[in-house]
Amino acid sequence: MTTFAVVDAALRTAGLGLADGGARLCLRGNCLCCGQRRAAGRHAGKLHLERMMEAEDTNFMKQALAEAREAGRKGEVPVGAVVVCKGRIVARAHNLTETLTDVTAHAEMQAITAAASALGGKYLTDCTLYVTVEPCVMCAGAIAWAQVARLVFGAADEKRGYRRYAPQALHPKTQVEGGVLADDCAELMKTFFAVRRH
């Protein structure tokens, strides 16, 4: 379990979220996240936690990118996803629509199914889904039904992304973060389609 996950779990146990409890972690000068000496005050603690969260998002998005590259090697549209629960990857997946001859076999759908199986339950209320491209409406619906706590995506999808057609599709409690390693994710898609056109 990562340091951030331990801290986050402790805050949740205490009934606090990052917004109200996380900012108090550095009040006494030593950060509870990493033990380093920090400037006292709410602002210092909150910024430190935000930096840790950004680093974790980047790390897990790199794992999703690895899945996307694997999809591209198989001739699939290069979209990859990972599901993280309490700081640990519980599912990895990539597009399999061509392999399975199944239009619903998107990376997100595969990842949600694998995560539910690994965790032994259909709801992913303690999980974050990292996906390299903004989900489509179908996948957004599945994310909502699974009650995923947090969605982090890389590149926006202006043509088929859920935000264009159904911006309210996700569960009301799902937190969304977009644009993590967006350039890397978008470049992978552009390269794939450029090669396919020639």
- To the query of whether residue 67 is one of the catalytic residues in this protein, the response is no
Residue type, 159: K
Q: Pick the closest to residue 88 from 1, 190, 187, 159 (CA basis).
A: 1
Q: Which residues contact 134 (CB under 8 A, 6 or more apart)?
A: 153, 155, 156, 157, 161, 162, 163, 178
Secondary structure (H, E, C), the chain: CCHHHHHHHHHHHCCCCCCCCHHHCCCCCECCCCCCECCCCHHHHHHHHHHHHHHHHHHHHHHHHHHHHHHHHCCCCCCEEEEEECCEEEEEEECCHHHHCCCCCCHHHHHHHHHHHHHCCCCCCCEEEEEEECCCHHHHHHHHHCCCCEEEEEECCCCCCHHHHCCCCCCCCCEEEECCCHHHHHHHHHHHHHHHHC
Tell me which of 56, 67, 76, 108 is the catalytic residue: 108
Catalytic residues: 108
